Structure 1
């Protein structure tokens, strides 16, 4: 896939995989379905070609937006576009619309505002406080881009997808044969001050990191290939020691200070499916004669 053919996500996203999709795709095996327990902005979904997709995320606002685009993208795009004006690109207007989002219980209204907040908020961050309120400050961009073509493309491709908002544990444990799983969890922090765990109301701690590796090993034993992305650290290499590891240098996408946006080492842990699963698939049961 050439750079010219790559499709961008319509959301700005911390840790988005647009620049890494070719490297990631090189580790994904053929299957009927690509399963993503942490779909995020969906760059891997948008730049691979599987017959079906199972796309999950713990962020309920994100999944509600995706499901809406899947069903009624034309009206959504028109309504969302109306919020991309000079009048709404001001701090007071942003704070008012952010409050409207936090008070709203209407799924459609929240989805329209979610896209507005994503494009007008600081650095494309998606962050909630402990009360579950979106609290990203105003971004002060000259003219936020309205991703109309990207929204249409996502809506078209979403016809192949099934979206869910549940735990990564459930998604991986329920994965069937003839699927391949790509995991893009919140990354292990490179320092104590670099932790980024408020993406959804629930955090993702080191116990989750270790549990994800354990679930990948079990899926591998069931005959499913699992690929996990993370920072390349001593600790991640330890928890992924049962996988084949691949490392490469990549540019940092989110940083407090522009001057510190240097290269960091990215790790891909590849759990290649065992051709003879150690435990038989649940669906395969002996049949009685007659």
Structure 2
């Protein structure tokens, strides 16, 4: 894709096509000034819904996540979005509670069918939650949303933006260590804090320990020393503040929680931003 074509993408709205716990759309809309204007390659190592990526629309990007099914979905939408949309139309036509569980229990063979299943389940499950059982099988119950295709969808433009993107199912350290001077790294890890939940939270099918938080901090310090621009979002907790206060500027931000069964139980939370620019 030519740079002029990428510039044309900037005048078109590209919304995240997935709903994801901890998604950062609020960051891009409420605090856009925290994001850099000039950088070389964009790196995002806990991709999820990719809200920051879709807002910034970088000319070159490396996007990664441990969730192989998630990365595969992005890859298929980049390379074969028309077939995915065709299958989403099929899911829309047949959607019901029984159909949802039929699709949830299915094991598609083709890449387009796998990607369409992933998007369909995300849009019609409870609160867009991604959760798997010990066997790695998606086990979120059906939700109240019935729209499989949305007015805000623009898969053709989304695919075009992803053409200049390297997609990796990989550990964050492997990816961050590839970033060079002038590159921008955005990291939004699982919000593990010391002495909370025994020091770990479920991250996809893996476990994200407090030791991983320390390892992430060390990776980002190394990247900062190489001349990379770094922005991290994390829990505003004393243990996290202590982890980053000597190496990064810290900013406390407010956001609303969206993952709760009842909207009246959703409230405002403090999050921490660590940055070096």
TM-score (structure 1 length as normaliser): 0.83
Relative to structure 1, the CA distance from residue 252 to residue 134 in structure 2 (aligned partners, 3 Å threshold; closer, same or farther) is same
Cross-structure match for 1:216: 220
The runs of 5 or more residues in structure 1 that have no matched partner are: 273-290
Cross-structure match for 1:114: 118
- 1:27–1:270 contact (8 Å) kept in structure 2: no
Equivalent residue of 2:39, what SS?
Answer: coil
Cross-structure match for 2:150: 147
The answer to whether structure 1 residue 225 and structure 2 residue 221 are counterparts is no
Cross-structure match for 1:65: 73
Residue number among 16, 23, 48 corresponding to 1:40 in the alignment: 48
Relative to structure 1, the CA distance from residue 189 to residue 150 in structure 2 (aligned partners, 3 Å threshold; closer, same or farther) is farther
Higher mean displacement: 166-175 or 247-256: 247-256
The runs of 5 or more residues in structure 2 that have no matched partner are: 1-10
Equivalent residue of 1:131, what SS?
Answer: coil
Equivalent residue of 1:55, what SS?
Answer: strand
Relative to structure 1, the CA distance from residue 197 to residue 113 in structure 2 (aligned partners, 3 Å threshold; closer, same or farther) is farther
The answer to whether structure 1 residue 243 and structure 2 residue 248 are counterparts is yes
Residue deviations 1:59-78, cap 9 Å, x none? 11111111111111112111
Cross-structure match for 2:17: 10
For 1:94 and 1:190, the matched residues in 2 are separated by: 38
Residue 202 of structure 1: how far off its partner (Å): 0.7
The answer to whether structure 1 residue 164 and structure 2 residue 168 are counterparts is yes
Residue 150 of structure 1: how far off its partner (Å): 3.4
Cross-structure match for 1:84: 92
RMSD over aligned Cα atoms: 2.4
For 1:189 and 1:123, the matched residues in 2 are separated by: 24
Relative to structure 1, the CA distance from residue 7 to residue 270 in structure 2 (aligned partners, 3 Å threshold; closer, same or farther) is same
Higher mean displacement: 120-129 or 6-15: 6-15
Relative to structure 1, the CA distance from residue 117 to residue 104 in structure 2 (aligned partners, 3 Å threshold; closer, same or farther) is same
Cross-structure match for 1:98: 104
TM-score (structure 2 length as normaliser): 0.87
Larger Rg: 1
- Residues 247-266 of structure 1: pairs in structure 2 closer than 5 A: 247-266=252-271
Cross-structure match for 1:179: 183
Equivalent pairs counted in the alignment come to 264
For 1:197 and 1:108, the matched residues in 2 are separated by: 31
Moved over 4 A (4+): 189-196
For 2:39 and 2:117, the matched residues in 1 are separated by: 36
